[in-house]
Chains A and B, each alone.
Chain A
Amino acid sequence: MRNLVRLRGSASALSTSSTSTVRTAATSSSASSSHTQRRCLSSDVRAKKIHIETDLVYPSKVRVAPLRDNITDPDYVPADRADDLEEVGGLTNWWEQPEHWGNSKRYVGFGPTEKVRDPMLLTVLVRRAVIEAVALRKFSPNIMRPEGLLAVTRGQKELLNTVEVTPIAAGDGSVTLGGEKGDWVKVWAQLSQVKRESEEVKKGPAPEPELTPAEAKVLVQKWGSEWKSLKLLDPVIKFYAAKRIQRLTGHIIPDGKLIGIETVNSLIAYLAKPPKARKLAEEIETTGVVANLSNVAFSPRRVTPLDKDISLGRWKVMKKELEKRKLPVLGTEGYQKSNLLRWAEGRAA
């Protein structure tokens, strides 16, 4: 955002000095890579020729209407007063409109915007997160900024390859990977691929899980429930897993909760818990307490005097009479109580 403000400042400063020569690349904003989308001022102020390459949409060049004497249209009637003139275009609120901002300026979150709610899908993704966290814990001392690897998601093939690996219990019951050496290598190879890939993969939003809940259910049933009882004792593994889960599912696990989570099962249970209703009305509707009671009427919002008037049928009459007297139907519309009343109450006028 700071960049944008500066850009606006510079553009306007330039335009005041040489309005006629400003050229924008608004129409040619189909830059493919993030590198090209970045602001690029190749300007030569002294030559008064500025070229700005950006994906921001600038107002188009000012067009001037032909003078009255040059108009050939026989139907043209000149305006006598300023009120008769039609107002076209304008720059008011130009930057308040989102379509005038380029893609590169839009906020992209770390996790998906929609949280994954299906318990089966969540189980599969938690398994992947835990396996990758265990592998990362083992190999992280060898690399710089290991958490960066957790930002990459890749496709379904990698997902299935990772969850194929069976986590097992170490001596103290905590989670670790299988006795075969191949497992560690397989998982680490997938994770560390990011070094060889371009950066744009990292930048983009997390892709939607291509796995359907039905497919996930088949996988979860195949694995059984033994792996869910594995313990998460190492806080670093838990942290890596939580970070990975945020990237894959959109769930953010607060630290306080993370301490309480001790097994894979409790991790899944925490994530799969349906969100709390935001309003009491929503909770009542979902639990269906009132649905079985036919003699109880339930309203998701406050029952106002207007609702009562409507249900008694007198609102239509009141509305008609108010309209007949040209009084405001709803609200007071500037009318206030009598001054006498306020004076009597001892308040200032």
Chain B
Amino acid sequence: MKRLRVDRWTGQLLVARSSQRGCCLAAGGALRSARSDQHYIPVRSQSTAVSYPFSEATETSFATTLQVPQDPSELPSPIPERALHSAKLASLHARLSLPKKLPIQTLARTLVDASADENPQFNNINLAFVGQTVINYHVSEYLMIRYPRLPMEIVWASMRGFAGIAPLFQIARSWGVESASVPGGEVDPGLLQFTTEKPGVSLTKFGYRRTEAMYLEKYKWRRGISNRVVFDDDFGESVDVTPGSEQTAHEAEMRKKERKEDEDEEENEYSMRRYGDDETRSLAEKAHAHFVRAVVGAVYMHCGRDTAHNFIKAHILSRTLGLSSLFSFKKPTMELALLCDREDFDPPVARLLSETGRQSRTPVFVVGIFSGKDKLGEAAGPSLDHARLKAAMNALKAWYLYSPGEHIRVPSEMLADGAKKWDPAYIDIGEIISR
């Protein structure tokens, strides 16, 4: 059995490409088709080592046979050499305090979305995949250690809140990244390049394509939490069945519906779609998110694990997410009773602590929930029942949002040289009611 060389897996991402590009041009079609053919060759190997799909020799032969067109606007994205002369890129590099080790050409590459340039040697798809993996790892480890009692659904929701497309889009905006109107070779390399005309290529995903995926939406099959933990992605969403698209099944359904509406509109030349709709907006947000992931991937590739971790802490984990607002309870009193039963506490009792204006238009009742002599939670409400339910919810939130401390160590910190001995982290037995 051959030894795995993890550091070589993404080695090809470290090299800025020369301008001898052949993507999406006259001969580019041949290049792509050859590549996709290679992709589907069923190779069985005794070794578990990763083999590159394209050898160096084939790459150079492509490079020598293909010519760069004279007009830069014929290229799908700017050539890497132009990155050195872009003021926007240099500013972005400085603004993010990126290390000098990260070349400006790579930063330019992180700004090219797969919808603008399909060639994976020039777009950010591979870097974004690396970045997504690194981000999701650090965010999930942070959540697990910092809030060990969070229910799985809340973990997924907070994963989306930290590392989903919406927060990453906000991060990209806060970095001051502007986008090009239409991607092309003549565009300033400091602008984010994507198009909403084509959906683009997806991030390559690990994971399982459910065999029953096409029925999930059709028949609204239930997916249990454990099932989703095993089969679905980091955000608890099922991966779309169609290869080459990254959207979740729900998004795919939405898109299909919208496309049908668009086709009706296609007949008149000026559809409103060109001015932006939900779909184009979501594609733009996705492109921004992929850019942020690609930057993290580039930092990881060029500067290493620790720098990437610090970068994620500074830009992603430092954001405030109101975890308590993510909860929703159906039967909080029952859940609290079950909790007390499981933990061998005394059964919860709701007691009226104070009240005012019972006969008035706006009464206020303050209810506390007690387990024996311990007060588990307290809330004020306009009716007795409402106050009791709120108090139960507060008690449950207090349980679920337990945190061992603000500066708690995470497992990845053990990878640093000379790390202190690991202090075992608190692990909870799990949520009270599984959904």
- Point out residues on A near B: beta carbons under 8 Å: 294-297, 310-317
Q: How far is the CA of A295 from the CA of B86 in the complex (A)?
A: 7
Smallest CB–CB gap between B78 and chain A, Å?
A: 10
Confirm or deny: B19 has a beta carbon within 8 angstroms of a beta carbon on chain A.
no
The answer to whether B182 touches A314, judged by C-beta atoms less than 8 angstroms apart, is yes
* Further 13 A-B residue pairs, CB within 8 A, beyond A294-B84, A313-B180, A314-B181: A294-B87, A294-B90, A295-B90, A297-B87, A311-B188, A312-B180, A312-B181, A313-B181, A313-B186, A313-B193, A316-B73, A316-B184, A317-B182
Give the docked Cα–Cα distance between A296 and B191 (Å).
15
Per the CB 8 Å criterion, the residue count for chain B at the interface is 19
- Residues in B lying within 8 Å of A, measured CB to CB: 73, 84-87, 90-91, 94, 104, 180-184, 186-188, 191, 193
Most buried by A among B86, B181, B186: B181
Q: Chain B: which residue is nearest A319 at the CB level?
A: B73
B72 shortest CB reach to chain A, Å: 10
Nearest Cβ distance between residue A294 and chain B, in whole angstroms? 4
**Listed A/B pairs (10) with beta-carbon separation below 8 Å:** A294-B90, A295-B90, A312-B181, A312-B187, A312-B191, A313-B181, A313-B191, A313-B193, A316-B184, A317-B182
**Min CB distance, B292 to chain A, in Å?**
21
A315 partner residues in chain B, CB cutoff 8 A: 186
Q: Determine how close the nearest CB of chain A comes to the CB of B167; give it in whole angstroms.
A: 27
Collect the chain A residues with CB atoms within 8 Å of residue B87's CB. 294-297
Residues of B within 8 A of A316 (CB): 73, 182, 184, 186
Q: Tell me the complex Cα distance, A311–B186, Å.
A: 6
Contacting pair A310 B186 (CB below 8 A): yes
9 closest cross-chain pairs (CB), A and B = A294-B90, A314-B181, A297-B87, A313-B187, A313-B182, A295-B90, A311-B188, A295-B91, A313-B180
Residues of B within 8 A of A317 (CB): 181-182
A245-B244 Cα distance, complex, nearest whole Å? 77
Q: How far is the CA of A299 from the CA of B228 in the complex (A)?
A: 56
Contact B90 A313 (CB under 8 A): no
Distance A312 CA – B73 CA, assembled complex (angstroms): 11
List the A side residues contacting B191 at CB < 8 Å: 311-313
Q: Which residues of B contact A297 (CB under 8 A)?
A: 85-87
Residues of chain B lying within 8 A (CB to CB) of residue A314:
181-182
Closest to B181 in A: A314
Q: A296: which B residues are within 8 A, CB to CB?
A: 87
Q: Which of A311, A312, A313, A316 has the most chain B CB atoms closer than 10 A to its own CB?
A: A313
Complex: A310 Cα to B90 Cα, angstroms? 20
Cα of A314 to Cα of B188 in the assembled complex, Å: 12
Whether B187 and A295, one on each chain, are in contact in the complex, defined by CB atoms closer than 8 angstroms, is: no
> Which residues of chain A have C-beta atoms less than 8 A from B94's C-beta?
295
Contacts of A313 in B (CB 8 A): 180-184, 186-187, 191, 193
* Nearest A-chain residue to B184, judged by Cβ: A313
| Residue of chain A at shortest CB distance from B92 | A295
How far, in whole Å, are A317 and B186 apart by their CA atoms in the complex?
Answer: 13
A296 and B90 CA atoms in complex are apart in Å by: 9
**How far is it, in angstroms, between the C-alpha of A113 and the C-alpha of B191 when the chains are bound?**
48
Tell me, in angstroms, the Cα distance from A283 to B182 when the chains sit together: 35
Q: Which residues of A contact B104 (CB under 8 A)?
A: 294
Question: Given the complex of chains A and B, what is the CA–CA distance between A295 and B176 in angstroms?
Answer: 14
Q: A316 CA to B195 CA in the complex, in Å?
A: 14
A241 and B163 alpha carbons, distance in the complex (Å): 80
Kindly provide the distance from the CB of B280 to the nearest chain A CB, expressed in whole angstroms: 16
Which has the most chain A C-beta neighbours within 10 Å: B85, B187, B191?
B187
Question: Contacts of B181 on A, CB cut-off 8 Å?
Answer: 312-314, 317
> How near does chain B come to A340, taking the closest CB pair, in angstroms?
25
| Least Cβ–Cβ distance between B106 and chain A, in angstroms | 15
Least CB distance from A62 to B in Å reads 48
- B191's nearest neighbour on chain A, judged by CB, is A312
Please give me the residue from chain B that is nearest to A290 by CB atom: B87
Task: Indicate the member of A310, A311, A314 with the most B CB atoms within 10 Å.
Answer: A311
The CA of A82 and the CA of B85, in the complex, are separated in Å by 58
Q: Give Cα A179 to B184, complex, Å.
A: 78
A126–B307 Cα distance when bound, in Å, is 64
* B-side contacts of A294, CB under 8 Å: 84, 87, 90, 104
Tell whether, in the assembled complex, residue A311 and residue B91 are in contact, meaning their CB atoms are under 8 Å apart.
Answer: no
Q: How far is the CA of A297 from the CA of B182 in the complex (A)?
A: 22
Residues of B within 8 A of A295 (CB): 87, 90-91, 94
A310 to B91, CA, bound (A): 20
Closest to A316 in B: B73
Which chain B residues border A312 with CB–CB below 8 Å? Answer: 180-182, 187-188, 191
Alpha-carbon separation in the docked complex, A317 to B181 (Å): 10
Kindly report which residue of chain A lies nearest to residue B74, judged by CB atoms. A316
A202 CA to B103 CA, complexed, in Å: 63
Q: Give every chain A residue within 8 A of B182 (Cβ-Cβ).
A: 312-314, 316-317
Q: In whole angstroms, what is the CA distance A124 to B186 when docked?
A: 51
B93 to chain A, nearest CB (A): 8
B210 to chain A minimum Cβ distance, whole angstroms, is 39
- B179, closest chain A residue (CB): A312
Closest Cβ–Cβ distance, residue B6 to chain A (whole Å):
34
Q: How far is the CB of B195 from chain A (nearest CB, A)?
A: 10
Looking at the assembled complex, report how far the CB atom of B119 sits from the nearest CB atom of chain A, in whole angstroms. 18
Residues of A within 8 A of B193 (CB): 313
B353 to chain A, nearest CB (A): 61
A317–B195 Cα gap in the complex (Å)?
13
Cα–Cα, bound, A40→B188 (Å): 66
Chain A residues with Cβ below 8 Å from B90 are: 294-295
Rounded to whole angstroms, the CA-CA distance of A312 and B184 in the bound complex is: 9
**CA separation between A314 and B104, bound complex, in Å?**
24
Can you name the residue of chain A whose Cβ is closest to the Cβ of B195?
A313
A295-B91 Cα distance, complex, nearest whole Å: 5
Chain A residues with Cβ below 8 Å from B183 are 313
In the complex, which of the residues A295, A297, A310 has the most CB atoms of chain B within 10 Å of its own CB atom?
Answer: A295
Bound Cα distance from A311 to B184, whole angstroms: 9
Most buried by B among A294, A310, A315, A317: A294
